[in-house]
Structures are given as C-alpha cells and as structure tokens.
Amino acid sequence: MKLEEAKRDYYRKLAKEEGYRSRAAFKLKQINDKYHLIRTGSSVVDIGCAPGGWLEVLSEIVGERGRVVGVDTVPIKPLGKKNVRFLKEDITSKKFLEKLKEELGKGKADCVLADLSPKLSGIWDMDHFKQIQLCHKVIDLLPELLVEEGSCVMKAFHGGELEGLVHRLRESFERVGISKPEASRKESSEVYLVSRRFKGQVPEQPSVLQKETRESESPEDSDGSGLLDDRLPAV
C-alpha cells in the first residue's frame, strides 16, 4: 500500500472510531490546533459544510455558549446539536446574506470557513477558475458577516488565479498564511488560506487589467506576493 493510500485509510478509520462523518474533520482540527482561530463561545459560519464533518468539530469546540451555522446547497443529515444550525442555500443567491444573518442571530461571526468546490467538469482550468470565483464571492460577503479582527479559513485550488485571491486577502487581513493539513492528500491541489485579524473592509475583486499590471511588475516594484514568501509561510 502506498503512503498516501495508507494515510487516507488511517484518517478514514480514525473518523469512524471518533464518530465523525468524514476524515475531513481532521483537516479542521489540525488547522485550529495550529492557529487557535476558534474557541469556546465563538460564533462560526461554515460555508460548504456537507456532509457535516466540520460542523461536528465546530460544535465540540464552541460549546454551549457558541453558535455554528453551516451552509450548503446539498442537504445534510441533522446533527442533533443545539449549537448548530443549517441553511440550505446557494451563496450566489440574492437572498443568501439575509437568510444567513437570520440564522446567525445578533452580531457577526468570529470566524468564517469556506470549504467550497464547484461541480467539477474535469477541465482543470475551468474548475480552478470557478472555485476561485466562489472564494472571491465569500470575500465580498465578509464585511457583512465577519467581525473586525476576526478570521477566515478558505480552501483554494492551486492555479493561475490563486495569486490574485491571495493578494486580495492580504488587503483584507493583517496576516495571511497557507496551510496543508496532514489530513489532506499530498497529491491534492487544495490548500487552505488562513487569514487573521480582519480589517473590516475588502477591496474589489481585481479586474483583468489590474491583474495584468500586477503580474508585469518588475522585481524592484513587486510587493513580494509569492505564495511562499516570509509573509505567507507554508506550514
């Protein structure tokens, strides 16, 4: 058995033993153990929550005083947790923000999670573009959803559009890092962008012209926005 297959089997077995719906639960556990983004009493929004593995972990972490709202277009089996609510909705719909605020209650979330993926076509450039656009849509919503100084964890696919997403996150948060949890498959193109200390507002998504200008910057003018520079450590 190859190492990656053994690792998948290990986390799949561990999820079953610990009562989680998917091995993906351990991705969130490992990220939170590293960054301590979510604590007892936190209010959290989990966008792209099906089948609910992250919701189970979140329910444990935030406790009775916390609140978790899961969002997905796919219905999930109820968790039976008093501190977890579920909203079956598409984040691109016009009524999404209004419905989410109703479920969230008073105030904004301390942390927004986005584990989103479009329906994959098998055409990588198209799938990558669609996934990054979903991430940008989440960023658009942050001023209405996330408290200042709050945090965000966002799955993203490697590819040509990733740099623009990272650049926009850097303009929106004080600190941005890239994480590849042990529970992630090594060959997977996914990474998790961990953003901390939200500034309260976000810039507009860069236009094609802005993107081309940034890519054409000379090294002397560059802001050092390579994914693995000292401000965006791989952990």
In a domain, 225, yes or no: no
Q: What are phi and psi of 176, to 5 degrees?
A: -135, 130
In a domain, 221, yes or no: no
Q: Could you tell me the CATH number of the domain that includes residue 145?
A: 3.40.50.150
Q: What is the chain's mean pLDDT, rounded?
A: 84
Residue 207: pLDDT band with limits 50, 70, 90: low
β-sheet bridge partners, residue 157: 190
In a domain, 203, yes or no: yes
In a domain, 227, yes or no: no
In a domain, 228, yes or no: no
Cα distances (angstroms) measured from residue 207 to each of 64, 93, 204? 43, 22, 9
- Range 181-186 average pLDDT: 82
Indicate the range of 97-101, 172-176, 203-207 predicted with least confidence. 203-207
Query: What's residue 75's pLDDT?
Result: 93
Query: What's residue 183's pLDDT?
Result: 84
Q: Are 168 and 205 contacting, i.e. CB atoms less than 8 angstroms apart? A: yes
Structural domain harbouring 112: 3-215
Rounded to whole angstroms, how far apart are CA atoms 49 and 26?
A: 14
In a domain, 143, yes or no: yes
Residue 224: pLDDT band with limits 50, 70, 90: very low
Q: Report the domain count for the chain.
A: 1
155 is catalytic: yes
- Span 36-57, pLDDT tens digits: 999 999 999 999 999 999 999 9
- Span 73-98, pLDDT tens digits: 999 999 999 999 999 999 989 899 99
As given in the structure block, the two tokens for residue 73 are 């277009």
Q: Inform me whether the pLDDT recorded for 3 exceeds 60.
A: no
- Range 203-227 average pLDDT: 47
pTM of the model: 0.84
Question: Which is the catalytic residue, given 29, 108, 130, 155?
Answer: 155
In a domain, 223, yes or no: no
